[in-house]
Amino acid sequence: MRTFLKLITISCLVLACHSKESAIQLVNPQTTQEQEQAALTKKLEDNWLLDLPTFDDSAIDRQLPYSPVALPTRPRLLKADGLTYRYDSLGRLVEGYANYTGTDIASTRQVYQYDKQGLQQVSFYWGSYPGTPLWLTRQTTFFSNQGGRIDRYFDGTFAYLLRFDQSGYLIWSGALKEQNSSTQVKGYSRAVRDSYHNVRLIRSTLEKAYTTEYEYDDKPNPFYLLGGLPAFTSPNNVIKETKRDQAGKLLSEIEYSYDYRADGYPIRKRSGTTVVDFVYAN
């Protein structure tokens, strides 16, 4: 009888331990965080139409390079962050390249082509050794709607919709589930601009859902209106960038400082140990 009771007691202890272990496994903080992130992402994806601009901007001059409006007179950026820039007779960016330096970087080249609607295609080339020809790695092609306004592009893998505010500034970019679809979006980024057209916040559901907040100086940004791939560029220079997940948890915080020319354009940008110099043609 005593032996039987001992067996029962041992069995109960084993079951209790097993139940306790199972309970502990169910409360995995990492799994819970991933589930919460997935739920938030799905909620944003399900409600993407709420963030999609619906007004008509057909009579508005778009922010360059999404329309052929004349470029303003401004210093022309020649070199920055490893790239050298070249322009056409209208002042539009036609090439950004980096030559092979032996140990630092390979040769790269970005070629920009335009049509009457604005930017039409960007081609990317790469070469691993000096003297060898560059080979085409990918192309990004822009498309216009029936009104002749650029409203989407294809990067070789995914198609993206573009939307602009009533002043012609890019504020929304959504990745389509299918290239020819206009209603099935798998993720998007939405920019909120202030009265100076600086991007103050970006909500994104691409890859992971997060928000990024920006603070600015009051000096002109040399990359603004430079052209190139779709980006939420701003007239002024970012001095602080704060990224959070959808629960508000801080993911990263970066601060930038600048040295300026007499006209306010930056000649040097610093962030930690990273330094970027800006060289202008005038």
**58: DSSP letter:** T
What is the per-residue pLDDT across 157-201, written as a single tens digit (0 to 9) for each? Answer: 889 988 888 888 899 988 887 666 555 778 888 999 999 999 999
pLDDT at 101: 61
Can you say whether the dihedral through the CA atoms of 10, 13, 18, 21 is positive or negative? Answer: negative
Arithmetic mean of pLDDT over the chain: 79
162's tokens:
């573009």
For the chain, give the longest Cα–Cα distance.
102
Beta strands in 221-273 (DSSP E): 236-245, 250-255, 257-260, 266-271
| pLDDT tens, position by position, 217-260 | 999 999 987 876 778 899 999 999 999 987 889 999 999 999 99
Tell me the two tokens of residue 132: 């060898």
Phi, psi of 42 (to 5 degrees): -65, -40
- Predicted local confidence at residue 70, as pLDDT: 67
Would you say residue 282 has pLDDT above 80?
yes
Sign of the dihedral defined by the CA atoms of residues 82, 67, 199, 185, in that order = negative
| Cβ count near 74 (within 10 Å) | 16
3-state SS, one letter per residue, for 11-31? HHHHHHHHHHHHHHHHCCHHH
274-280 and 77-80: which strand pairing? antiparallel
Best mean pLDDT range from 30-39, 57-66, 203-212, 244-253: 244-253
Can you give the pTM of this predicted structure?
0.76
Model confidence over 57-73: pLDDT tens digits?
Answer: 667 778 878 887 767 77
Domain ranges, ordered by start, for the chain:
46-280
pLDDT of residue 7: 43
Least confident window among 38-42, 136-140, 213-217: 38-42
Tell me the pLDDT band of 210, cut-offs 50, 70 and 90.
confident
Encoded tokens for 270: 């610093």
How confident is the model at residue 34, as a pLDDT?
62
Which residues make Cβ contacts (< 8 Å) with residue 122, sequence separation at least 6?
A: 110, 111, 112, 113, 139, 140, 228, 229
Looking up tokens 């502990």 gives 24
- Three-class SS of residue 240? strand
Alpha helices for the chain (secondary structure H)? 2-26, 29-46
